[in-house]
Structure 1
Amino acid sequence: MSLTKSQSRTAKLLSLSHSQVSRIMHRSVSRGLERRDKSDIYPHLSIDEKATKKGHHYLSILSDERAGVVIEVVSGRTKKSVDDLCVKLSQKQRKSVKTVCTDMWDAYIYGANKYFKEAKLCHDNFHLVGYLNKAVDKVRKREVKTNDALKKSKYLFLKDKMNFTNKQYIAFEAISNANYEVSRAWRVKENFRDIAFRQNRLDALAIYSFWRLDAQRANIKEMNEVVEMFDRHQNGIVNAIETGASNARAERLNSSIQEIKTIARGYRNDDNFRVAILFFHGNLDMYP
């Protein structure tokens, strides 16, 4: 099984049917979860989502941010789903959690506040910059309708400048030096991305407040909407700046989980997808 993440290929290699491989994986994961030490401590947790093949359907994933290990997976991303996810940890384990990193999805915030009352809820930089990137692209789409110079510039504002070709750098400099709103919006986004995390509490609050004031001065409708959203979640953002908590490992896990999904060409059954995720990324003792 360690040779490939493709169940079909594994079945062929072992002269088994696909259903037999699936049953082995299910039994192995069940055995591994039963053997897990309920006294294990997870100081830094992440709650993230993964889209399945079924349109706007998701799995919710609880992972150990420090070790990059999936703790549990449940179907959906409702409050009920989050209840099912968080109760997998014992009361003692929940009390030991110091930070819980999520995006701004209401159900995840609800779960963090309900089950990890002694932990700091953090909204990590990856998701926050993602919101700002979307806002920058909205500004570009609006302005490109009246400014031909912005045509074919989408990826200039989404790509890291460090990865620009010489041609892209020249094009970007020409646009950024002009007084386009998209250029000012990009600078607001970059200023946030450059915030140094791991600050004391007062500095974290001051840094966020300074960025917020600068963003408001730009007075760009799409960016103002993101600032308003950030303000509603200010405590979680300041917590992240203070603690440095992020979903970095969770995002890398998400990429690995996407690989499992791609190899399988999607999963129609959530439980099979859950088992595959835990089989490969649950760090379980599954041997008979």
Structure 2
Amino acid sequence: MQCPEHGCLTVSVPWAEQNSRYTLLFEAFVISWLRAASISAVSKQLRLSWTAIDNIMERAVRRGLANAPDRDTTRLAVDETAFRKGHDYVTIVSNAQGQVLAVEDGRSSDSLGRFYDSLEKPRKQSIISISMDMSPAYQKATFAHIDKAHRKIAFDHFHVAQMLTRTLDATRKADMARADHSMRQEIHRSRYTWLRHRKSLEGQQIQQIRALSDALKDTGLVWYLKEKARDIWQGYRVKGARAAWQEWIHMARLTEVRALTSTANQIETKLFGILNAMRFRASNGLAEAINGQVRALKVRSRGFRSKERFKRAILFHYGGLPMAPNPHG
């Protein structure tokens, strides 16, 4: 604007944000497209550069974070995902509604600690459960920042089942190495049969397990205790669960199977979090689902060169933020 008294001035206008080349109405239109299509598709269709689109996304996320009402932080889930495979990671914190609350650099205790530092004291005190994998880093951060963390950290069923599945497969491989050469092919073919839940086994698979039990004695013991652990998780909530797990740990050690003994020691160390997960029925299921969607987003976007853009895209698509500008307000 040219002013006779003050010269050329830049003034705010109600239909556009500061430093934006586009009207609020057009930005709202672009945001609606980005929710359903890739940046590449939006760029081609609307003839916008990737930088222009990224700037619109940046303003949208910033607007969403500023305008978002207090989102639920009573039941949290923490997970990690790779920015570049094997090189760099980010920590994703979400809530029970499946909204991403924060994306922090790295997967260290400082990564999760930065999220906790962003919470006001009353919100920290209102936390009921924090579901996570068995990462020592995330536990360290939670113990350092959250009161009574030993009653809130939860290790969900998926991670315990994953640990037992790996133990079973390692034991099967050890048994196969000791078995007669004539049986090794059949033992190898039985891999997925041993990993299945007993109620899902079909007649032929049951016969296969029975036929191999003599040659795979340790595998049979580990399989039995894997199923026993499943029964404990499904059959107990609070009352009796601790005693049931302690009995399971004792039985696992009596087998003297090295891999199973090691797993029993880990479960004993993490028992507080397993019991919390059972008590709160806490699960990382939504967090794992978000992780899967983020991997799909990377594929759809053909990767991200900038970690900041990657983090911004996660908040844009999965933060549940009110990002659309109001052209009339």
What's the TM-score, normalizing by structure 1?
Answer: 0.89
SS in 2 for 1:145: helix
Displacement of 1:111 in angstroms is: 2.0
Q: 1:254 aligns with which of 291, 296, 316?
A: 291
Give the structure 2 partner of residue 46 of structure 1.
77
Matches within 5 A, 1:191-270: 191-194=228-231, 195-196=233-234, 199-200=237-238, 202-270=239-307
Aligned CA-pair RMSD? 2.3
* 2:79–2:92 contact (8 Å) kept in structure 1: yes
In structure 2, distance between residues paired with 1:164 and 1:197: 20
In structure 1, distance between residues paired with 2:46 and 2:213: 58
CA offsets 1:145-195 (integer angstroms, 9 cap, x no match): 233131223222334456667655543453357653122212222221232
Aligned length: 285
Matches within 5 A, 1:1-288: 1-2=33-34, 4-38=36-70, 40-64=71-95, 66-118=96-148, 120-147=152-179, 148=184, 149-160=186-197, 168=205, 170-176=207-213, 179-194=216-231, 195-196=233-234, 199-200=237-238, 202-288=239-325
Evaluate the alpha carbon distance shift between residue 246 and residue 221 of structure 1 in structure 2; reply closer, same or farther with a 3 A threshold: same
Structure 1, gaps ≥5 residues long: none
Evaluate the alpha carbon distance shift between residue 27 and residue 137 of structure 1 in structure 2; reply closer, same or farther with a 3 A threshold: same
Displacement of 1:265 in angstroms is: 3.2
Identity %: 29
* 1:98–1:118 contact (8 Å) kept in structure 2: no
Displacement of 1:272 in angstroms is: 1.5
What's the TM-score, normalizing by structure 2?
Answer: 0.78
1:247 partner amino acid:
N
Evaluate the alpha carbon distance shift between residue 252 and residue 198 of structure 1 in structure 2; reply closer, same or farther with a 3 A threshold: farther
2:234 partner amino acid:
A
CA offsets 1:175-227 (integer angstroms, 9 cap, x no match): 35765312221222222123227623x52211221221222233211011111
SS in 1 for 2:153: strand
Further displaced range: 264-273 or 28-37:
264-273
1:94 partner amino acid:
K
Evaluate the alpha carbon distance shift between residue 153 and residue 33 of structure 1 in structure 2; reply closer, same or farther with a 3 A threshold: same
In structure 2, distance between residues paired with 1:197 and 1:263: 42
Evaluate the alpha carbon distance shift between residue 177 and residue 146 of structure 1 in structure 2; reply closer, same or farther with a 3 A threshold: closer
